[in-house]
Amino acid sequence: MGRRTFIEPASDHAVLTVAARAREGDRREMYALRGEPDMRTSLRACVRLSLWSWVLRVDEEPGAVFGIAAARTGAGLPWMVGTGLLALVPKAVLVLGREWSDRMLGLFPRLENRVLAENHRSAAWLRRCGFTLDPVARPFGATGELFHFFHKEAKDVRDSRRHD
């Protein structure tokens, strides 16, 4: 029997659950960006600064929290923090990334953010979702760790649909 996944608006309970169960790569990335050792504080700040945030549930349990914030440039800043439950539903996570980033492009002409260079799992997922990652990682964030800039534009989605 397959696992059931669904998306709903992020609640504080879901945020705290994901913060407590976050994957190690996501924890390291959040610390490198914010310099805040408390994952609960960091994830709550992400939700607070976002226009919208949601939770992906896997069999009723919070598996990830994700959202979109607005950059001063007019671009959208997508983000996601996941738990080990995501490994149980890889196809759902890929569909989530593709469909929700396309939805976000209905609100913003461009999506962009950064991914910790050593977070290979997240970087690979971003590529599969249609994002372009800069090949050169540069120091960024509170700790000066190396990050890859990534982006996706509405025209990228239109172009990929022509080839389907």
88-135 residue pLDDT tens: 999 999 999 999 999 999 999 999 999 999 999 999 999 999 999 999
Domain 5-162 CATH class label: alpha beta
Q: Which has the closest alpha carbon to 146: 33, 61, 19? A: 33
Inform me whether the pLDDT recorded for 161 exceeds 80. no
Taking 3-state DSSP, the helix, strand and coil percentages for the chain, each rounded to the nearest 5, stand at 45, 30, 25
- Give the predicted TM-score (pTM) of the model: 0.91
Task: Delimit the domains of the chain by residue range.
Answer: 5-162
The residue whose two tokens read 């022509």 is 162
Q: What is the mean pLDDT of residues 40-58?
A: 97
Q: How far apart are CA 47 and CA 45, in angstroms?
A: 5
